[in-house]
Chains A and B, each alone.
Chain A
Amino acid sequence: MIKRFRYHIAIFFSVIGPGFITAVVDNDAGGILTYSQAGSKYGYQPLWTLIPITVLLIVTQEMCSRMGAVTGKGLSDLIREEFGLRTTFVMMVVLVLANLTNVMANFAGIAGSLELFHVTRYISVPLGGLLVWLLIVKGSYENVEKIFLFACIVYVAYIVSGFLVEPNWKQAAIDSVRPHLQFDAEYISMLIAMVGTSIAPWMQFYLQSAVVEKGITAKEYNESRIEVIVGCIVMSVIAFFIIVACAGGIWKNGPRDIVNAADAAEGLKPFGKYAYALFAIGLLNASLFAACIQPLSTAYTVCESLGFESGVNRRFSEAPIFYWLFTGLIVVGGGVILIPGFPLVKMILFSQVINGVLLPFILIYMTILINKHRVMKEWVNSRFYNLVAWASVALMIGLTVALVVISFRDLLNPAGS
């Protein structure tokens, strides 16, 4: 009995990584910005959305990791095999665009967080880009995963800074479980943005590939499922503390709009240099982390589905498209941050639109794929789970379409209403 238990624990630790990393990277620069905005402007009120977000995240991530474990193939491979090249190609073009804008947001995060420590972006961004590039090219999967897991731990910085601002815990606890709706266009669009940033297209591809790469099979799937669920919960806990820190630190002294995550850190200054520094370090860590994973995951996804050689263990001459793709994403994504007057806020809105356009298709394809008996055998969704899955997909699509409409409106009309 004990032996059996220990065996399962051992498997749990051997499958740890993919689900955890994906969920945590979900709190990238864009995510942190959204949560900070929510907390700074509406205090504890938006906290209740985190529970439904967690459920949605678990449902989608669980399906991806199950597909990876059962088929041993990446999501883009499955889409290609079942829906053909043309669909895949169009999807990959949009994915590259969407991820390029994500990378930009994260390099902006690197620049913003280090500027709080008086490092100019003309140093921080090129250095950050180089660091990311070297980590990808020189690191092996095992080593890189260890570094990533360490980066996950750095997210504790947000928890600490949440405590340092001494928020109103009682209020936070009540608002976490009590839904609060107010019919104010800005409040609603804030809630939608929170859901929208929490489930991004790239995550589905990354998670499934990471599960495959890790060699997780259907047999270890139960442990892997727990890992995915734990990861999603951890992601929400971090989001909770970011919102709480901003609510307790900024909103309490008068609600206000912030335009970037570095702004939020600045707002925590009155609570001592630690709260401020920890918030900034958390942002730097998250941005660097995401700036590593997103270009790499994009290059893998695109090359594998279109049949180009890929993998950092190949030489440049063997896998030129793979190397050009992730190098290009890093160089362009980081480069635009250095252009004076580059419309970054617009770019981030555009990023939300394009991610939002892509996501419904991916979710629909995923749900179709996971119900194909030929692909998943006895691992297809149960009828109840299918109901939950399609409901989640429908809800996500509805919210995403709303987000796209809102972002698109803001994009066309930057002055606001």
Chain B
Amino acid sequence: MAEQNLFLTELLGLDVFDLRGRRIGVVKDAAIVPLVDPSRVDRFLVGGGYAWLSVGYDQVRTIGLDGIHLKDEQLKPYHSDEYVLRLVRDLLDQQIIDAQGRKVVRITDVTFDIKRSNGHENDQLWVLEVDIGVRSIFRRMVQGVLPRRWIRRLQGPIPPNSIGWEFCNILESDPQRRLRLNISNKLLEEMHPADLAEIVENLSPDDREAIFETIDSEVAADTLSEVDRDIQTSILESLETEKAAEIVEEMAPDEAADALAELEAEHSQEILDEMDEEPKEDIQELLEFAEDTAGGMMNTEYIALGPGRTVADAAAEMRENGDKFDTANTVFLIDADGRLTGAIPVARLLTAVPSTKLAELIQDKPIHAPLTETQDRVTEMFDKYNVLTLPVVDEEGRLAGVITADDIITVLRQR
């Protein structure tokens, strides 16, 4: 019976026969051309005589465990081609990202689906999944030692461990080659930034850089915020200044300031120079404060409304800046000079009549911290007053920024 699947380890060393059944060599490697098709094996590299030959997928009649039979004799010598991804050279034993399992894995073997086209006499190999784990290690270790069919039988009891080809994100640190091979990082952009951050931490510096250079700036910013501080610094250092500025612009100002504070002064200035005016000013202000004070911990993205405004105004304000304030749960009131006069939880706005004046909803004088308050005291205040958002005010009582509970959790986790 003809096989449904073939493993890359089985393919290697498989005899190749010409039209008259003469053996012309053995398979040394197989290649896909991602620009044409991301999973069909486009050509087989066959070694036998002096040079390797390149056998196109359309020159093959049948593929099986006993060998590959050709239907065409016009074989070209193999010379390296920049547009091919060679499975043995470029994939086997290398790391890829499993976007579904959210981890970095090392490929031990590749499983192909043999597509048989009845009548056409043109069997094709399509990459189905990549194999990791004990079963594929066993297969590789004994390949060439035992006959292929024995190995299939012996590996039976070992549970397989494979990742679908469509979930594999290939790593390639050379930007030009990545382009030629049509390697995208789309799969990574769909992952949760926190998961992606964990993956990035496990990669080599070159691969990290390659990822941050290609993925969408917004995803990159979210991911960078989640990455360990040391690695964050090394990523920002390795990126082109323009790209770094693009990513930092998308980060929350407090996170951005913390990240830039770790860089050498000249470099962080270079990045700041590349940025747009608005986020740049916010970050520069934050950079003035020591990291372990309220000023250094705070974020400058908050919702504050002047005197005389209503609930409806607050709602409109939030709608307008919705994307910026994912975590906003408090609306602040300020007087004509910008001094903090009150804080209203968003939940209370929902239950209030839209025409109500915000000032009427204020209950007590809001809890707040001065810019110079220490990190310890700030965490204590969160615990003591059970607040989710703590406003920070300058010497004259003007609202300067807010500290949110997620900042505090990060601080506590780092202890």
Contact = CB atoms under 8 A, between A and B. Distances in A.
A binds B: yes
Interface of A: 7, 71-73, 77, 80-81, 84-86, 89, 215, 217-219, 306-309
B339 interface: no
A309 to B, nearest CB: 8
- Top-7 shortest CB links A-B: A72-B204, A307-B106, A215-B230, A72-B205, A217-B234, A85-B140, A307-B132
B204 A71 contact: yes
Chain B residues touching A, range: 20 to 34
Nearest to A14: B230
B231 interface: yes
Contact of A219 (B108, B203, B208, B234): B234
B94 interface: yes
B252 to A, nearest CB: 23
Contacts of B205: 72, 217-218
Contacts, number: 48
Nearest to B132: A307
A85 B204 contact: no
Contacts of A7: 264
Interface centre among B93, B140, B208 (most CB of A within 10 A): B93
Chain A: interface secondary structure? helix
A84 B93 contact: yes
Interface string B335-364: 000000000000000000000000000000
B94 A81 contact: yes
A219 B140 CA distance: 38
B93 A215 contact: no
B141 A89 contact: yes
A89 B106 contact: no
30 contacts: A71-B204, A72-B203, A72-B205, A72-B207, A72-B208, A73-B204, A77-B95, A77-B106, A80-B106, A81-B93, A84-B93, A85-B92, A85-B93, A85-B108, A85-B140, A86-B140, A86-B141, A89-B141, A215-B228, A215-B230, A215-B231, A215-B234, A218-B205, A219-B234, A219-B237, A307-B107, A307-B108, A307-B132, A307-B133, A308-B133
A308 to B, nearest CB: 8
A89 B204 contact: no
Interface in B194-228: 203-208, 228
B154 interface: no
B137 interface: yes
Interface string B129-141: 0001100010011
B105 interface: yes
A211 B140 CA distance: 30
Given A80-B93, A307-B133, A85 B206 contact: no
A188 to B, nearest CB: 40
A219 B234 CA distance: 9
Interface string B12-34: 00000000000000000000000
B319 to A, nearest CB: 41
Interface centre among A77, A86, A217 (most CB of B within 10 A): A217
A73 B93 CA distance: 13
A72 B141 contact: no
Contacts of B207: 72
Nearest to A305: B106
Contacts of A86: 140-141
